[in-house]
Amino acid sequence: MNMLLRIELSELVRNHASLCNTMLSSVVSIDFYCFS
């Protein structure tokens, strides 16, 4: 059970990280578009 919980947590963290990266790239593209 502990192992399963740890796996779910790591999945959650990975999904959150990829979501943050996607949002960050969108913001960077928008900034680049505005400044160029």
For the cut 70, the answer to whether the pLDDT of residue 30 exceeds it is no
Task: Let me know the angle formed at the C-alpha of 27 by 24 and 33, rounded to the nearest 5 degrees.
Answer: 140
pLDDT number for residue 16: 73
Q: What is the pLDDT of residues 4-26, one digit of tens each?
A: 777 787 887 777 777 767 777 77
CA–CA dist 19, 14 (Å, integer)? 9
Residue 25 is given by DSSP the state: H
Q: pTM for the full model? A: 0.38
Residue 20 is encoded by which pair of tokens? 């943050």
Please give the residue that has the higher pLDDT: either 30 or 6. 6
Alpha carbons 14 and 1: distance in angstroms, whole number: 20
3 state DSSP class of 15 = helix
Tokens of 19: 């979501």
